[in-house]
Structure 1
Amino acid sequence: MIAAVATLGGVAFILALGLGLASRIFAVEQDPKVSAIISLLPGANCGGCGYAGCAGFAQALVAGQAVPLDCKASSDAAIQEISKILGIVYVPKEKMIAKLFCQGGNDKAKVKYLYQGIRDCRAAVLLGGGAKACAYGCLGFGSCVKACPFGAISMGPEGLPKINENACTGCGACTRACPKGVIQLIPARQMWYIPCNSRQRGKAVRQVCDVGCLACGLCVKSCPEQAITLDDNRALIDPQRCSGCGICAERCPQKIIQSPGEMKEVSAVSKG
């Protein structure tokens, strides 16, 4: 018995020694630039850059297959340091933030049926597009919350996600997780936006949601800068043209146009 144990121990020691020597002999040294860049990246492995993780992105940067601005989650300071390591010109990036283009919470949006399945938007959408009567609205099961690697999203009491703009890095993980496309990235400097994703108009919108955009075009007509357009019944604001005057918000019959920092509760407008 003792001899058998001793033999096994000896074999294990020899194998361990062999593995240790092999790891030294066949080790591939990592480019110091890659290591330095990895230390500057956020380490969230969110995939917003198009690579599986931060290490893969760092390797792509050194290989010249990516640019520092591809990392949406990195700060300007980190981008500047990475640019120095790569020996390229630093280009400041425009900060983007995620915004919810839907205000149809539990008390404002109609439902088609009572959903009792998996509490995940990507699962719920498979059943007739989800329980919401609006085909374009938020389903409210928080797939975006789970996807955010920075803890910037939480679910509100009305069944809609709340995005902390200060914590949001604009990585886009939430936008990829949303099967309805109601979370979108906009420039942080954008003064006004219209939080509705519907492609319907007028009566069709009112039948399913109390706070949806009616695609009436009043905001388009009232904008002195011609910064608003209607595209497939969606009112879109061009941040390059918008002066922030707020006339569009005043003229909106639904009172849903708001600035990114407001995060206000939208009340249903009387239909009388």
Structure 2
Amino acid sequence: MSIIIAICALGGLTLLLAIMLMLANKRLYVYEDPRIDTVEDMLPHANCGACNFPGCRPFAEALVSGQVLPGKCTVSTEDGRLAIAQFLGVDPGSEEKRVARLACAGGTNVAQNRAQYQGLASCQAASLVSGGGKGCFWGCLGHGDCEVVCDFDAITMNSHSIPEVNPDKCTACGDCVEVCPKDLFSLQPISSHLWVACKSLEAGEEVLENCDVGCTACGKCAMDAPGELITMVNNLPVINYNLNHQMKDSIQRCPTGAIVWIDEKQGVIKGRESKKIIRKGERKLGQS
């Protein structure tokens, strides 16, 4: 008899719990638009954050809810964005692609070290030891932390230990920006062709003692630029990208090539008066 009572009690408790779960499920149920799964599948699954969302799933939710337009995903192809727009019945919208840019060109052939760093091959580690040992305190240390953290193979170290960014692969995720201990990377619209490839705050010919391509703060670029396109701040030219900057006039008289024009096909273009760099090997201490 006691066994029957126990079984009935257990059965009743099970039934009660099942009813409570059914009621809770109905009360707490949150509707999720089935289109979210479809849109997520249509996205590139890069989870790069270039759209300012933490991943493709949150971005898909924002698309379906109408918070953003497909053009916000600059990593996807034009056809991919159009397909999403057609599926949702919205305008594709547009967003200019951004890429990572490095404010340094001081490779081993043009910049020298004043101390030999020995330790973990990492920019972050080297920077903790007297700034890394490079003659220019602000220059790239060349150990490739940015290359390591880039999940999209968009950054490679060239033969002179300077990172080069492949704009076709760059998703503007910002990992290189965060990892660089010298704060040399920034995310820029791909149409911003005018670029200052230096971050040294020094001025004068003394800069060239450490780097052949450093900015000497001569100000010629600011003089040649129209209006207030370029102003000198802390011995460095600062470009106002809100103004029309689609012109190469300001790079022509730069003696070191510290301010350049970045062409999507030809790459980095220096001005006509920039000193030509012919050294292929490492620049030695005291070598000019």
Q: TM-score, normalised by structure 1?
A: 0.75
Which residue in the other structure is 1:21 paired with? none
Question: In the superposition, relative to structure 1, how do residues 268 and 97 fare at CA in structure 2: closer, same or farther (>3 Å)?
Answer: same
CA distance in 2, matches of 1:108, 1:85: 53
Which of 277, 281, 284 is the equivalent residue of 1:267?
277
2:130 aligned with 1:128: yes
Instruction: Name the counterpart of 2:100.
Output: 98
Look up the match of 1:167.
Answer: 169
Q: Is the 1:210–1:268 contact (alpha carbons within 8 Å) kept by the matching residues of 2? A: no
Partner of 1:55: 57
Distance in structure 1 (CA, Å) of the matches to 2:152 and 2:84: 21
What CA distance in whole angstroms lies between the structure 2 residues aligned with 1:83 and 1:231? Answer: 44
Shift of 1:252: 0.9
**CA deviation profile, 1:3-26 (whole Å, cap 9, x unmatched):** xxxxxxxxxxxxxxxxxxxxxxx9
> What residue number does 1:112 align with?
114
Q: Choose the corresponding residue for 1:242, options 236, 242, 245.
A: 245
Percent of aligned pairs sharing the same letter? 36
Q: Is the 8 A contact 1:142 1:161 kept in 2?
A: yes
Over 3 Å counting, the alpha-carbon distance change for 1:36 and 1:129 in structure 2 is farther
What amino acid is the match of 2:186?
Q
Counterpart of 1:45 in structure 2 is: 47
Deviations 1:9-63 (A, max 9, x none): xxxxxxxxxxxxxxxxx99986423212222322222344455432344345556
Code of the residue aligned with 2:35 in structure 1: it is K
Q: CA deviation at 1:139?
A: 1.3
Q: Provide the secondary structure at the position in 2 that maps to 1:193.
A: strand
Deviations 1:114-150 (A, max 9, x none): 1222222222222232222322211111122122232
Normalising by structure 2, what TM-score? 0.71
**Quick one: structure 1 residues 60 and 156, their matched pair in 2 at CA, closer, same or farther if it must change by over 3 Å?**
same
Cα shift at 1:69: 5.8
Aligned to 1:33: 35
Q: Which secondary structure state, in structure 2, belongs to the residue aligned with residue 260 of structure 1? A: strand
Q: Give the Cα–Cα distance (whole angstroms) in 2 for the partners of residues 268 and 214 of structure 1.
A: 20
- For residue 212 of structure 2, the aligned residue among 210, 224, 230 is 210
Q: Does 1:185 align with 2:190?
A: no
Deviation (angstroms), 1:247: 2.4
The match for 1:221 among 220, 223, 228 is 223
Cα distance in 2 for residues equivalent to 1:58 and 1:138: 37
Structure 1 residue 264, shift from structure 2 partner: 5.7
Distance 1:219 1:53 in 2: 41
Q: Distance in 2 between matches of 1:238 and 1:55?
A: 35
* Cα distance in 2, alignment partners of residues 50 and 92 from structure 1: 15
Q: How far 1:184 moved relative to its partner?
A: 2.0
Is the CA contact 1:48–1:173 (under 8 Å) kept in the aligned structure 2?
no
Secondary structure of 2:186's counterpart equals: strand
Change in 2 beyond 3 A, CA 1:28/1:116: farther
SS in 1 for 2:201: coil
Listed as ranges, the gaps of 5+ residues in structure 1 are 1-25
The whole-number CA distance in structure 1 between the counterparts of 2:166 and 2:182 is 20
Please state whether the residue corresponding to 1:129 is helix, strand or coil.
helix
Cα 1:56–1:118 shift into 2, 3 Å: farther
Whether the 8 Å CA contact 1:76–1:93 is kept in 2: the answer is: no
CA distance in 2, matches of 1:101, 1:89: 36
Q: Distance in 1 between matches of 2:69 and 2:128?
A: 37
Provide closer, same or farther for how the CA distance between residues 33 and 119 of structure 1 changes in structure 2, counting only shifts above 3 A.
farther
Describe the SS at the equivalent of 2:156: strand
Q: Structure 1 residues 125, 58: CA separation in 2 closer, same or farther (over 3 Å shift)?
A: farther
